Structure 1
Amino acid sequence: MKATVLIRPKEGILDPQGEAVEEALRALGFAVSGARVGRLVDVEVDTDDPAEARAAVDRMSHELLSNPLIESFSVELGEGA
């Protein structure tokens, strides 16, 4: 089963990449009041059971894909994920 994990810095956490993007957009003339930069990870889990797949991807996200102290993540399961 395919899964997509979207990882973002938690609110209030310093995001230097987001700040750089925000400054660059302003320099190009875009009116923005903030930018946050995250990561997208696509994984394929060797199961057809959605509950089992979600549990596995949640565990992967907590243990390796994200830093739970400073990042949050969301998981999307499905064919198109």
Structure 2
Amino acid sequence: MIKVKIHITLKPGVLDPQGKAVQESLNTLGYEQVLNARVGKYMELTLEEGTDVDQQVEEMCAKLLANPVIEDYEYTVEEGVTQ
């Protein structure tokens, strides 16, 4: 099996209201050194061996997992994973 770890983040310049709320809450709790926070998504997929992993992950991200207009994504592949 193959494990794919996907990190999806907002592109630079895209407003992040959830990140702003996290940053303000941390400041309220006394962590004034936090100047900015950005919130993203993390996913793990397990795929069968023998698939074209890079092509499939690119298609999955473009079609469903990420919004390519406002989000960037990167992923890593771990082969030989047991579940």
TM over 0.5: yes
Unaligned runs of 5+ in 1: none
Q: For 1:16 and 1:34, how far apart are their aligned partners in 2? A: 11
Residues 14-70 of structure 1: per-residue CA shift (max 9 Å, x gap):
111100000001111111110000000111122246xx1121111101110000000
Aligned to 1:35: 37
Q: Which runs of 5+ in 2 are unaligned?
A: none
More strand per residue: 1 or 2? Answer: 2
More helix by share: 1
1:54-69 matches, cutoff 5 A = 54-69=54-69
Once residues 44 and 27 of structure 2 are traced to their aligned partners in structure 1, the CA distance between those partners, rounded to angstroms, is 31
Paired-residue identity, %? 36
| Secondary structure of 2:4 counterpart | strand
Give the CA RMSD over aligned residues.
1.5
Q: CA deviation at 1:2?
A: 0.7
Any idea what SS the aligned residue of 1:6 has? strand
Structure label with greater radius of gyration: 2
Q: Which contiguous aligned blocks of 4+ residues in structure 1 show a shift greater than 6 angstroms?
A: none
